[in-house]
Amino acid sequence: MSLAAKTVAFTLVFLTVNLEERNLALDGTASQVDTLSSYEASLAIDDAYGRFSHTRSKGLSAWWLLTLKNRALIREIKIYNRMECCQHRIDGATVWIGDNLIGGNYEGAVAVGTVQYEKGKTTYIFSEIDKAGSSVEIQGGPITETVPDKNLHMLEVQVYGCLNTASQGQKGWK
């Protein structure tokens, strides 16, 4: 009795996906509900840490919006607080991610975090978000008796993630 040798071939395929994670805010467009003096929304995404955005509106009616060029997988958001004055105003600000958000309307958006103010803290980081969207909106925190002057102002906002570069007809980020 003879045993025939069998040869089995396996093909292993390794797929390497290199997603470039970067600060998407630098290529986005910023807007806000209104502007105090000349402190425009775009100052929070200019990568210059000496200027800041500032709304005239206060509390929950204050908002700042970043519209991305394309839908993206958002992994992390960093909010740099203004330190020379009024740091407490950032307390209670809520960060939202959604698609085609319109300032002040959070329908279909997901709240990914709320700032818990800490005296002397310069940066508030929301990490491991892993949500897809084309917009990031920051809504001012509620007005309280102890903090009635809650304008929304930020030194810088950074949004780290990967753009959806799928061509038409392909599925993109979910």
Q: What is the pTM of this model?
A: 0.84
DSSP 107: T
Domains and CATH numbers, the chain: 22-163 (2.60.120.260)
Cα separation, 95 vs 46, in Å, equals 19
Cα separation, 56 vs 137, in Å, equals 17
Nearest CA among 122, 137, 126, 113 for reference residue 160: 126
Kindly give, in sequence order, each residue whose CB lies less than 8 Å from that of residue 15, ignoring residues fewer than 6 positions away: none
Beta strands in the chain (DSSP E): 22-23, 29-32, 53-58, 63-80, 94-98, 110-114, 123-126, 131-139, 151-154, 156-163
Ordered per-residue pLDDT tens for the chain, 174 residues: 554 554 545 555 654 444 678 999 999 999 999 999 999 999 999 999 889 999 999 999 999 999 999 999 999 999 999 999 999 999 999 999 999 999 989 999 999 999 999 999 999 999 999 999 999 999 999 998 888 889 999 999 999 999 875 544 445 545
